[in-house]
Chains A and B, each alone.
Chain A
């Protein structure tokens, strides 16, 4: 994709702020449900509405989840963190302040390794991750010159993950974003649903001439809700900034909104006014103090992390770094893969074969039908059964694809499909030889041409012999036998 190449002479500097909604049952400071899609304001309690006299009480699970993230990124988990109030007026912010962490976040100074497409691993610094409450939503449809406020989302716990400005291209930024996405789902602290807004990203983008020491003025791009859009939005912004600077202009530090329909970013005037958030420690909440026992108990719940799993896949299954990274990008896919390998009969090429199938046809079918892994039409044992028939040469790779399609469509086992269709591969040398003999006998002209040097006709004979066996001859055997027959006549 050449369109995403940075113009020569410029360096791009990107930092991301990711807002991950934590997968708690109840809100961060109240006992309201956090489920998505409820009728407006039916999940907004007195606390969420900022009713006079109400007070926040912190959800333990939100704290555990933040700590989990901190431990998984090698960050410092603060033994003492403090909630502050960020004061501003907005209709989706019921109290006129957001409870967030400011000076003393719960997680600080970590990093994550991101495997780039060129095979190079890049370490991205995580400046901090802090707990805060989400705001509500403004709706504009069906109301004349008015907006409707739904506060169901208000108070949903968020982990805001702030990276160092370590990314140098939109590609790198997306790779980092995907890695964090993978991690939070591994840790089961966020469902990662970008459409529903459970995983959101703001990008701080600036450019500078290569060699320049000082960072350029940055713009913050908000409202990007897919990996593809993040890449496009950053790219647009980079080109825009370079255009401005090259034509002698200056970048104004501002918040910009990405408009996916127009593929452009534009200034958010409503947020342009200089913000003075008047942060101060929230007097309704006390310092969050975590002792060693608490942190140890959270550490005990950490799953095998993506990088650890990928390393193990390389070591135990002999997979390439790229395959291992791809398979372990989702904890469910990795588990599926391991279950397939475990269910299939051991064979020298099995691990690689299984990897190709899981990442290949199997994933393609899931995507085609828009299904989650859990709703796949072929089970781990079903796929293992198919791989067994490939390993023992009952069917060819080409037939296997057809078998798989029928397995998916009909819910049958590989053996049942092969049996019903009579697709068992012919490995009987005599039967293959008979078919070859018949083909040679029926095509004397072609035989003569072949022998006079037209090597290309070999393919013709393969095709005819395959046709004669209804495609069931073992291709390798057929090739070998055909070669010797054509030569010996």
Chain B
């Protein structure tokens, strides 16, 4: 058995049993990255030196039997998390060469847990995109078909895990940015409840929607990494003070008698037929596992895309105002005056999708439009949240597709933002309501993976992971690797 297809638990076992060292494991992944990253463009920065020194430190701990479950496990971070001393770009020209003087909470915690940093992954610029085509550093390719997108915005992390260039990678999810790329690359990804994982050091896109999560081959691997990431952080006012359950132990919860809700709205027009069929098959699998399947409705859910495209750009337009060419980031050449400095630094530093969203957000907040757009969207957000609340009074978990179809071709949707935005139609609701949600692979259409989405009530990560794990105990979609990377 090759190292890169083992589960995290198996890797940890191998490390503690001295079957291989962390340095060997790390080198194995660095070699795979060296061989494949050129074609995939999934890593923006490979931190080979740092990785090997992290690994050495881990080996020293392991030698003294002081290692934990993640000591010596290599991972990658999405390039949206600030890393002290290592470039953090958000895949933008604006932050090319930017070296954060501090570590994000997520980085800090996973480093403290003993993980080894392989590098920083490519993404849509400032996490704005669903295909990874908005990256200033070029699109990421889908390991299942290099002509296809890996999804976005955490497309680099998804491709890295799908091609087994790292056992796991962090991601962020504002409107589906973990789940949709996980679905399109055939891996597992979890977006926790809003407030579960600290946002400190994660470059903000839309503050009331952003949440960090983890992407890995299986739900079991996600559980192992989510545990140290989650928990209260006094530096983030929206972080929730609440105990973190043992997610790994929680995987064993039985699915017998579990009430699964099938969201009517997720199976309406727009869902590609074969994708729908794979999802239906997964539902049947759950029925066999002893779950009760109930149809439920969230009538306002179809409004989530328009709601999101008011709320997210509004917050983004404000969050991205700090990039002004003064204290950090890109500054234009020879500004004539202050206004010129602002306009050209921002105009030249941001890519066109980022600018489009800043423009949208600026417009919906501007005088005379605030009530009609922003306030209205905040009210509809309440309606959508109430719909979910009602649904969860009837069922334990909601189930549906993650994306309307499998990965699409690079270049296919770049010219029409609205068509691109509709790719997030099933994922956005969970962000608006702050709910935890997962995507796990549930089959293939035309040799491209299809994702199954699970959404739970607030702070039900443990149950979501167990529901996903139960399925993965009786299926093997999650362990399939594209032939070229097997």
Contacts and interface: CB of A to CB of B under 8 A. Distances in A.
A280 interface: yes
Given A87-B321, A280-B365, A286-B237, A52 B326 contact: no
Given A87-B321, A94-B322, A284-B207, A52 B342 contact: no
Interface stretch (B142-150, B198-206, B475-483): B198-206
B243 interface: no
B136 to A, nearest CB: 15
Contacts of A65: none
B357 to A, nearest CB: 15
Given A89-B321, A97-B321, A278-B365, A56 B328 contact: no
Interface stretch (A43-51, A160-168, A382-390): A43-51
A90 to B, nearest CB: 9
B95 A96 contact: no
A276 B369 CA distance: 11
Interface stretch (B33-41, B97-105, B215-223, B419-427): B97-105
B235 interface: yes
Contact of A53 (B202, B320, B321, B365): B202
Interface string B316-333: 011011111011100000
Contacts of A50: 322, 327
Contact of B237 (A51, A55, A95): A55
Interface string A78-99: 0000000101010100111100
Contact of A54 (B200, B206, B314): B200
Interface in A95-148: 95-97
B237 A52 contact: no
A279 B365 CA distance: 7
Contact of B318 (A52, A57, A85, A285): A85
A486 interface: no
A46 B102 contact: yes
Given A51-B328, A87-B365, A97-B318, A56 B237 contact: yes
Interface residues of B, number: 44
B100 A53 contact: yes
B318 A91 contact: no
Contacts of B285: none
A126 B183 CA distance: 57
A427 B374 CA distance: 87
B82 interface: yes
A181 B27 CA distance: 67
Interface string A353-376: 000000000000000000000000
Interface in A203-234: none
B451 to A, nearest CB: 28
A149 B82 contact: no
A49 B327 contact: yes
Interface of A is mostly: loop
B394 interface: no
Contact of B236 (A49, A55, A87, A149): A55
A179 to B, nearest CB: 35
Contacts of A280: 314-315, 318, 365, 370, 374
Interface string A256-298: 0000000000000000000010111001111000000000000
Point out which of A53, A85, A96 has the most chain B C-beta atoms below 10 A from its C-beta. Answer: A53
Interface string B70-92: 00000000000110000010100
B78 to A, nearest CB: 12
A58 B234 CA distance: 11
Given A46-B101, A89-B342, A278-B365, A52 B235 contact: no
Contacts of A276: 366-367
B237 A57 contact: yes
A52 B199 contact: no
Contacts of A53: 81-82, 100, 102, 104, 199-204
B297 interface: no
Given A49-B327, A51-B100, A52-B82, A286 B322 contact: no
A87 B319 CA distance: 10
B366 A278 contact: yes
A437 B320 CA distance: 96
Contact of A52 (B95, B206, B324, B370): B95
A58 B200 contact: no
Contacts of B235: 55, 57
Interface string A52-81: 111111100000000000000000000000
Given A56-B237, A278-B365, 20 more contacts: A49-B327, A51-B101, A52-B203, A52-B322, A53-B100, A53-B104, A55-B199, A55-B236, A55-B237, A57-B234, A57-B235, A87-B318, A87-B321, A91-B324, A96-B322, A280-B318, A280-B365, A280-B370, A283-B207, A284-B207
Interface of A: 46, 49-58, 85, 87, 89, 91, 94-97, 149, 276, 278-280, 283-286
22 contacts: A46-B102, A52-B90, A52-B95, A52-B98, A52-B204, A52-B328, A53-B202, A53-B203, A55-B237, A57-B235, A57-B237, A58-B237, A85-B318, A87-B317, A91-B324, A95-B322, A97-B318, A276-B366, A280-B315, A284-B237, A284-B238, A285-B237
